[in-house]
A and B are shown apart, each in its own frame.
Chain A
Amino acid sequence: MISSLIEIGEWIFLLYFIGLNGGYLALNFLSLISLSRLMRNRMIDDLPQFYSGLEPPISLLVPAFNEQSSIAASVHSMLQLSYQEFEIIVINDGSKDDTLKVLEREFSLIPFPEAYHQQLATQPIRGVYRSTRYNNLRVIDKDNGGKADSLNAGINAARYPLFCAVDADSILQRDSLQKVAQPFLEDSLVVATGGSIRIANGCQVSNGFLQKVDLPKKILPLLQIVEYLRAFLFGRMGWSPLNAMLIISGAFGLFKKNVVIEAGGYRTNTIGEDMELVVRIHRLYRLAKKPYRIVFVPDPICWTEAPEDLTTLKNQRVRWQRGLLESLSLNIGLLCHYRGGAVGWLAFPFMLLFEALGPIVELTGYVFMFALFLSGMISGQALWVFLFVAIGFGILLSVSGLLLEEMTFHIYPRPRHLLLLLFVVLIENFGYRQLNSWWRLVGLALWTGGGKAKWGEMKRTGAWQK
């Protein structure tokens, strides 16, 4: 009786693992197809441009909270982006430091009598300024309300049909706006695009631009590089051709302004406002049966500083997990809705089953198997095989992420970079993955624990830390 129960338990875990990894491999495969198609047309870099001069103008929204030391450099580098027509709107979210003063001094701001067009409700605006040195730079000063609230204020003030939400500490490629705007030119149904985020630790950065790509010396950022490759190159690229990509990173995403306004803007009472918005757009469009496209641009266009210590990393992962759960639960109506399409029937259940609830099954699996082994109910061989499967698939997925990177952008130039990354892929599965699952479980627990009262507070301190 007990042994057959154990066997059933073993089957469940095994099938879950295989379902999870099989799902990722399928995404990997989809991604492989679309990436190789894309790269074939990229081989020649000197083809004449068809779009020069016709790019839709973009409003760059840069929320800033206590960024006095870095904001001037960030804005200077954003002013250097190569794009036909864009404006930069910095939103000072009630910073307690001298963020506004620094901006005033650096860019010679003067008060600007903006006829503020309130389309989304936000915290009160204290004032609007414009630069006398750069006529495409404005600053909104408002009461503190969090990142989502700041972005909403920025949307209200944006003049252009597309807006791009950027973290103040993001390091952009000079051509990043051109790259993410391209899908909007090619297809009028596109409502949002997101790009690949890469990790800047170890790279040489000067004047807000990337000078030389290199790998970090520390192990934590290295592990995250492999994670990011997996997450972007097939986690997102795989979903994109199905028009089922549920996440556009808050660090860099381009949206059609009126679509976001119609959807109600960013939600201010969630942690993962970037993901929630995208899931909501999917839900509203799918359920209303309106055609739309959300596209992923695989090119590495935005670089970000990854946490280098365990506490910050833990906080980030816990926050991500809570954000994921909130985004899914707030839009649960999309799950297996008869109009849900690939999102409602594939991406959403996949996220829910494997990303949101995955840590429970994963960690229970480990605990269960070890407990059975210690109590002598399964053999050492069975435990060994279980670990072999779990770790084997983990390595397989990371290696396939590396393969996709090598097929497409190969941004790490030296063979020694590749070897180091391969090594990281191996060790990642002994401890780091499990630790990550644990953090995600913590996030899950915090979310179910109804930490609602704490959300607003968390968001204010948390969402800005990097």
Chain B
Amino acid sequence: MYSGLDFAANSEPVIRFAFWSGFCAVVLTLMFIARIAVLRMALRRNERRKQAFLSVWRALLTESALATIDPSRLPAISAQDVVFFLSYWNHLQNSLRGDTRERLNYLARTAGIDHAVRRMLKDGDNAERLLAIVSLVHLGDKTDTVVLKDLLVSEQPIACLHAARALLHIDPGALGELMPIIVERNDLPTAAVANILNEAGPDAISPLLADMLRNAFLQGAAAQYMVRLIALTAAAHPSVVYPSLCGIMDKTGDIEVLAACLKSVRTPAELPRIRQLIRHPDWRVRVHAVSALGDMGEKSDLELLKNLLSDSQWWVRYRAAQAISRLPFVTVDDLNEMRAHLDDNFAVDMLGQVVSERTS
């Protein structure tokens, strides 16, 4: 190498430059290889540690889930092993019910895990924090709610979601404070928020959602936000949120908001409006109106739906055919007869497909 350096200093600039960049590449390569080796060794060490931990604790955890165990039999848990303990412990908590969970909590407290969890929540890295939040759910200690509330405004969506869920489990009363936060944070996926609201239950969320809907609409909130709110009403009691939804349908000029309402509202009281909207110029509205009519339509609506079998939009035709076949008073024979008397080819095809789907 020495002679190499020597020559590199003496040649033309281009050769020198080339040599040194190649040299850097080699040094970097060696560093990368060293890093790979270090990572692999750490991985193996961690794996061995985990196996060692499990060989002792697997039986203990299983046993203590099923019967109260004598605390003196529990070995001490080192700080590094807390993560292993918690993932196993959480897993059992999630799969079991009833007094087993109390026994598992008792075990965690006697082993001093609850303090370790709180330490992890304060000082741990992201992953450890999440694990700690999830564990707090099972421990169910009301004193932890303060920390969890702070986490609701965490920059990380995932931490916020877990904190929200944990809060609700520990203290259902926190819903009023928590709901506006998670609904308004648009970095939280609607689906995830819906799941949390589902867990909270319709009794708790319905009045809150109805209020939020009314206020948001009055204040002229953005269509995107309205659509999200309306989608979330699926988890609520219909009787509580429908008045707000109907109020919105009366006044809104936004196609997407209207379509979202039509998707959510299922009450015969709205039938007159739905029958009207079935002729709406925008097909996105027609599709949802047709589906709604399929869920609640009466005998007299059959003609309306039949007309839509020849709509210009495929989706409207498809939903209309499905809607007809869903009507409780329409039998497969009716469908076949209807098909025989239609003179529109699209409609015939569509009904044929739906009959076939229904008989499958």
Contact = CB atoms under 8 A, between A and B. Distances in A.
- In the complex, A touching B (Cβ < 8 A): yes
Given A40-B125, A113-B353, A388 B17 contact: no
A429 B65 CA distance: 57
B14 A406 contact: no
B221 interface: no
A51 B14 CA distance: 57
B195 A41 contact: no
A66 B194 CA distance: 45
B91 A392 contact: no
A125 interface: no
Nearest to A50: B192
Interface string A379-407: 00110011011001101100110110011
Given A41-B158, A115-B318, A406-B40, A14 B14 contact: yes
A113 B339 CA distance: 13
Given A185-B189, A382-B15, A396 B28 contact: yes
B134 A389 contact: no
Contact of B36 (A45, A51, A403): A403
A407 B37 CA distance: 11
Given A41-B127, A44-B87, A112-B353, A51 B25 contact: no
Given A14-B14, A50-B191, A115-B352, A399 B32 contact: yes
Contacts of B19: 385, 388-389
A115 B316 CA distance: 13
B12 interface: yes
Nearest to B90: A46
A273 to B, nearest CB: 24
Contact of A10 (B14, B29, B91): B14
B26 interface: yes
A122 B350 CA distance: 20
Contact of B40 (A381, A400, A410): A410
A217 interface: no
A11 B158 CA distance: 50
Interface string B7-28: 1000110110111011101101
A352 interface: no
Contact of B87 (A45, A51, A418): A45
B244 to A, nearest CB: 23
Interface in A308-367: none
Contacts of A389: 18-19, 21-22, 25
B43 interface: yes
A11 B87 CA distance: 57
A406 B29 contact: no
Given A51-B192, A135-B360, A422-B33, A115 B349 contact: yes
Contacts of A41: 126-127, 130, 158
A51 B32 CA distance: 37
B14 A11 contact: yes
Interface in B329-360: 346, 349-350, 352-353, 355-356, 360
Of the listed residues A40, A48, A130, the one surrounded by the most CB atoms of chain B closer than 10 A to its CB is: A48
A357 to B, nearest CB: 22
Contacts, number: 144
A47 B134 contact: yes
Interface string A47-78: 11011111000000000000000000000000
A18 B18 CA distance: 9
A392 B26 CA distance: 6
B36 to A, nearest CB: 5
Contact of A396 (B11, B12, B32, B94): B32
Interface string B308-340: 000000100110010000000000000000000
B356 A47 contact: no
Interface in A208-229: none
Given A14-B17, A382-B11, A395 B94 contact: no
A175 interface: no
B58 interface: no
B353 A46 contact: no
**Interface secondary structure of B, over-half rule:** helix
Given A50-B161, A130-B360, A395 B191 contact: no
Nearest to A45: B87
B18 A386 contact: yes
Interface string B68-90: 00000000000000010001001
A384 to B, nearest CB: 9
Nearest to A382: B15
**Chain B, interface size: which category?**
35 or more
Contact of B21 (A7, A18, A403): A18
Interface string B149-169: 000000001100110010000
Contacts of B165: 48
Contact of B353 (A115, A186, A399, A402): A115
A186 B131 contact: no
A431 to B, nearest CB: 19
Contacts of A40: 125-127
Contacts of B314: 117, 119
A41 B349 CA distance: 50
Given A115-B353, A130-B360, A392-B25, A186 B36 contact: no
Interface in A396-427: 396, 399-400, 402-403, 406-407, 410, 415, 418, 422
A396 B353 contact: no
Nearest to B19: A385
Contacts of A288: none
A206 interface: no
Contact of A403 (B12, B35, B94): B35
A132 interface: yes
A393 B21 CA distance: 9
A114 interface: yes
Nearest to A135: B360
Given A47-B162, A392-B25, A395-B25, A418 B191 contact: no
A7 B43 contact: no
Contacts of A54: 191-192, 194-195
B67 interface: no
Q: Which 8 A-B pairs have the closest CB atoms?
A: A115-B349, A54-B191, A392-B25, A43-B127, A389-B22, A113-B352, A50-B192, A392-B22
Given A51-B195, A385-B15, A406-B40, 15 more contacts: A10-B15, A21-B25, A40-B125, A41-B130, A44-B127, A44-B130, A46-B91, A115-B346, A115-B353, A116-B349, A382-B11, A392-B25, A392-B26, A399-B36, A422-B36
6 contacts: A21-B25, A40-B127, A47-B130, A115-B346, A392-B29, A406-B40
Interface of B: 7, 11-12, 14-15, 17-19, 21-23, 25-26, 28-29, 32-33, 35-36, 39-40, 43, 83, 87, 90-91, 94, 125-127, 130-131, 134, 157-158, 161-162, 165, 189, 191-192, 194-196, 314, 317-318, 321, 346, 349-350, 352-353, 355-356, 360
